[in-house]
Chain A
Amino acid sequence: DAGITQSPRYKITETGRQVTLMCHQTWSHSYMFWYRQDLGHGLRLIYYSAAADITDKGEVPDGYVVSRSKTENFPLTLESATRSQTSVYFCASSEGDRLNTEAFFGQGTRLTVV
């Protein structure tokens, strides 16, 4: 299916465990993003990637790791989950040019750290 998909949709994990959220897009978009959504904070950028093997920190990167070995995949890893990382996580992608400015979002992953 064409589009951008996240997995899993829901995840419960324990404090201290490593967890990876997956993101896959079929458009070959250059840019990919990870945001977290929390009440009162809106969407905050965790990490983004301008192309394969190019990643950069966003506003709230601490405790997260990303990689982008292939253009279509952009996994987000919580190395040692904490309760403060309980959130809804969104992956997004875009063409990354001035003619195509729309960002397309996945359905989100609700992560609960207990």
Chain B
Amino acid sequence: AQTVTQSQPEMSVQEAETVTLSCTYDTSESNYYLFWYKQPPSRQMILVIRQEAYKQQNATENRFSVNFQKAAKSFSLKISDSQLGDTAMYFCAFMRSSGTYKYIFGTGTRLKVLA
């Protein structure tokens, strides 16, 4: 069974600074998808970024980028130029690329951006 681990329950960062959120996972699959979802205080879940395991290039979306280390089974999220609106809970998630397409989530990291 796949598992996703987020070892940082809470983090804080100064506005305009850079912060990295960690995620590790365990799987025996060779191809799969990884995601970072953001949950602001409104509770709405929003996709931040996704990565397909067979693609070696790290995904980027504006100020958000990932460091995907397949051998280490690590998938960290870097937020550059942090903004107050980035304050949220961030969840890392795993999905297989074949069979049943269900999402396995980590326990989340609560990020607070300080003014």
Contacts and interface: CB of A to CB of B under 8 A. Distances in A.
Contact of B108 (A31, A42, A45, A107): A42
A108 B43 contact: yes
The majority secondary structure among interface residues of chain B is: loop
A105 interface: yes
Nearest to B108: A42
A97 interface: yes
A43 B91 contact: yes
Interface residues of A, number: 26
A64 to B, nearest CB: 16
The majority secondary structure among interface residues of chain A is: strand
A50 B100 contact: yes
Given A42-B107, A42-B108, A108-B43, A102 B102 contact: no
Interface stretch (B11-19, B44-52, B72-80): B44-52
Interface of B: 6, 9, 33, 35, 43-45, 47, 50, 91, 93, 95, 97-98, 100-108
Given A101-B50, A102-B47, A96 B101 contact: yes
Contact of B105 (A35, A40, A48, A50): A35
B107 A101 contact: no
A44 to B, nearest CB: 8
A42 B101 contact: no
A30 to B, nearest CB: 8
